[in-house]
A and B are shown apart, each in its own frame.
Chain A
Amino acid sequence: MFVLVVGGGKVGYYLAKELIENGHEVVVMEKDRTRAAQITDEIGSIVVAQDGCEGKYLGEAGCARADIVAAVTGDDEDNLVICQMAKHHFDVRRTIARVNNPKNEDLFRHLGVDEIISPTRMILGSIEQDIPVHELLHLAGLGSGELEIIEAHLQKGSPAIGRATADLSIPEGCSLFAIVRDGVATALRPETVLREGDKVIAIGRADCEAKLHEQLIGGVAPSAV
Chain B
Amino acid sequence: MKIVIVGCGRVGAALAEGFDASGHQVVILDISTRAFDRLSSAFRGSAIRGDGTDEDVLRRAGADGADVFLAFTEGDNRNVMAAQLAVENLSAVKVIAKINDPVRAAAYADLGIATICRTSMLTDAVHEYLGLAGSGMPGVIAPTGGHHGGGEHEPALPAATGGLAGSPAGAGSPAGGSAAEA
Which residues of the partner chain B approach A80 to less than 8 Å between Cβ atoms?
Answer: 77, 80-81, 84
Known: A54-B101, A89-B107. A112 touches B148 (CB 8 A): yes
Partner of B53, one of A56, A77, A111: A77
Q: Which of A59, A78, A103 contacts B55 (CB 8 A)?
A: A103
Residues of B near A78 (CB, < 8 A) are 77
Closest chain-B Cβ to A76's Cβ sits at a distance in Å of 7
In the complex the two chains form, what is the Cα distance from A22 to B115 in whole Å? Answer: 41
A110 CB contacts on chain B under 8 angstroms: 88, 148-149
Nearest chain B CB to A33's CB is how many angstroms away? 19
Contact of B54 among A84, A88, A101 (CB under 8 A): A101
Query: Quick check: is B56 within 8 A (CB to CB) of the other chain?
Result: yes
Residues of chain B within 8 A (CB-CB) of A101 are 54
A107 lies within 8 A of chain B by Cβ = yes
> Smallest Cβ distance from A138 to chain B, in angstroms?
33
The one of B77, B88, B102, B149 in contact with A81, judged by C-beta atoms closer than 8 angstroms, is: B77
Interface of B is mostly: helix
Majority secondary structure of chain A interface residues (helix, strand, loop or mixed) = helix
> Quick check: A77 and B148 within 8 Å, CB to CB?
no
Using A53-B76, A103-B55 as known contacts, say yes or no to A88 and B110 having CB atoms under 8 A apart.
yes
Say yes or no: B103 contacts A56, CB within 8 Å: yes
Interfacial chain B residues near A111, Cβ < 8 Å: 84, 88, 148
User: Interface 1/0s, chain B 18-53, versus A by CB < 8 A?
Assistant: 000000000000000000000000000000000001
A76 to B77, CA, bound (A): 9
Counting CB contacts under 8 A, is B61 at the interface? no
Q: Within residues 77 to 128 of chain A, which ones have a CB less than 8 A from any CB in chain B? A: 77-78, 80-81, 84-85, 88-89, 101, 103-104, 107, 110-112
Which B residues, 131 to 154, have Cβ-Cβ distances below 8 Å to chain A?
Answer: 148-149
Q: Are A55 and B80 in contact (CB under 8 A)?
A: no
Identify 20 residue pairs between A and B in the complex whose beta-carbon atoms are under 8 Å apart, listed by A's number: A53-B101, A55-B101, A55-B104, A56-B103, A59-B103, A75-B77, A77-B75, A80-B77, A80-B84, A81-B76, A81-B77, A81-B80, A85-B103, A85-B104, A89-B103, A103-B54, A103-B55, A103-B56, A110-B88, A110-B148
- A contacts, CB < 8 Å to B: 53-56, 59, 75-78, 80-81, 84-85, 88-89, 101, 103-104, 107, 110-112
